[in-house]
Amino acid sequence: MLEFRDIAITDKERITAALAESQFMGCEYSFSNNMAWKRLGDSQISFYKDFYICCSFRSEDGIPKFFLPSGSGSYKEVIGAMKEYALSLGKPLRIGGITESSLEMLNELFPNEFTADTDEGDWDYIYNSSDLIGLSGKKYHGKRNHLARFNELGAQFSLMTENDFDECITFSAIEYNSKSSESDHSFVAEQYAINTYFNYFSELELQGGVIRIGGKVAAFTIGDRLNNETFCVHIEKADTNYNGIYVGINNNFAKAAAAGCKYINREEDLGLEGLRRSKRSYHPVFLLKKYTVTFK
| Alpha carbons 273 and 128: distance in angstroms, whole number | 23
Q: What is the pLDDT of residue 183?
A: 57
Q: Is 3.40.630.30 the CATH classification of the domain at 125-267?
A: yes
Select the CATH number that applies to the domain covering 9-123 from these four: 3.30.930.20, 3.40.630.30, 3.60.20.10, 3.90.76.10: 3.40.630.30
Q: Where in the chain is the domain with CATH 3.40.630.30?
A: 9-123, 125-267
Q: What angle do CA 85, 87, 64 make, to 5 degrees?
A: 70
* Spatial separation of the C-alpha atoms in residues 230 and 23, rounded to whole Å: 9
31-32-36 Cα angle (round to 5):
120
What is residue 185's predicted lDDT score, i.e. its pLDDT?
Answer: 82
pLDDT at position 137 is 97
Strands 286-288 and 124-128 turn out to be antiparallel
Mean pLDDT by 10 residues, the chain (296 residues): 98 98 97 96 97 96 97 98 98 97 97 97 98 98 97 97 97 78 75 96 98 97 98 96 97 96 97 95 98 97
C-alpha Rg value of the chain to the nearest Å: 20
Are 18 and 31 in contact by the 8 Å Cβ rule? The answer is: no
Q: Residue 238: what are its φ and ψ, rounded to 5°?
A: -155, 150
